[in-house]
Amino acid sequence: MDDEAVDMSGEAGQAVPRSSIRGSGAREAPADTRDMYMVHTMFRREFAALPALVRGVAAEDAERRAVVADHISFLSGVLEAHHRAEDIHLWPKLLDRGTDEIAPVVQVMEGHHERIEELAAQVAAALAGWRERATTEQAAALAHVLRRLAEVLYEHMALEEQRILPLAEKYVTAAEWRAMAGTSGAGLPPGKMPLVFGMTLYEADPEVIENTLSSLPSEVRTLLQEQGTRDFAMYSERVHGTSTPCRSAPLGPRN
């Protein structure tokens, strides 16, 4: 069969044209989505820890409150950049190239993003109140909305891993996947890329790390791995009180 042969592994048993992830020349390499699991693990670990961090701040400890508040704002920004990149790069390609069965799950994912944006706005409002007045009520309100955000985020990431990432490997090229990561990175605060990479390295599979860095110049790989690891250790010591915080786990019961 020639290059226009079909791949019979399509969604719901339907034939997927090879042209769905090819350019003008030979068939392009498909996306390797393993790095998304690495990012999701970081989000699970860090967002799940936030309510307890807030509740653990003494009302009179303004310095500690500022550290935790800045951490919440930083994480929220990282998540926003990550989801904006998916909105720009991933959902349109899946809808354009995939079968009809893909549209409903993409709509669910887009709905999750909207709900997460709503909760992030509530977090920002509660955070502003907590920064200004560190009462027990303000802390409880902030911890509550952070827990709700973590619950929706866990649900979203689980569905994405189950349904979306296998589709991305069929319909998105490796170059397009890297472009999405580039857009996400460009949305980070200046100078924070090593720290964010260090946060993802903490629980990552070495093979996935090697693959993620393989297309970068050697000096950039060294910067991300070495400085990222150092930056995260120092940052985690300041935020969590240890350079080796608890690893990601399922959400426990609400307190």
Q: What is the mean pLDDT of residues 156-185?
A: 97
Which pairs count as long-range contacts for 36-41, CB under 8 Å and 24+ apart, including other chains?
36/160, 36/161, 36/165, 37/161, 37/165, 37/208, 38/200, 38/203, 38/204, 38/205, 38/208, 38/209, 38/212, 39/82, 39/200, 40/157, 40/160, 40/161, 41/200, 41/203, 41/204, 41/248
Average pLDDT, the chain: 90
Give the pLDDT confidence of 120-150 residue by residue, as tens digits.
999 999 999 999 988 999 999 999 999 999 9
Q: For the segment 63-81, what is each residue's pLDDT rounded down to a tens digit?
A: 999 999 999 999 999 999 9
Which pLDDT does position 151 carry in this prediction?
A: 98
pLDDT at residue 53 above 60? yes
The pLDDT of residue 7 is: 36
Percentage, residues of the chain above pLDDT 90: 83
Q: What DSSP element (H or E) covers 109?
A: helix 102-132
User: 33-189 has which CATH code?
Assistant: 1.20.120.520
Cα–Cα distance, 196 to 188 (Å, whole number): 9
- Phi and psi angles of residue 26, each rounded to the nearest 5 degrees, phi first: -65, 160
- Run of H or E residues at 84: helix 62-97
Locate the domains of the chain by residue range.
Answer: 33-189
User: Looking at the predicted structure, is the pLDDT value of residue 16 above 60?
Assistant: no
Which residues fall within 8 angstroms of residue 98, CB to CB, at 6 or more apart? 11, 20, 167, 170, 171
Return the pLDDT at 21: 56
Confidence of residue 160 (pLDDT cuts 50, 70, 90): very high
213, 218, 222, 228 alpha-carbon torsion, rounded to 10°? -40
Least confident of 3-7, 33-37, 228-232: 3-7
**Model pTM above 0.95:** no
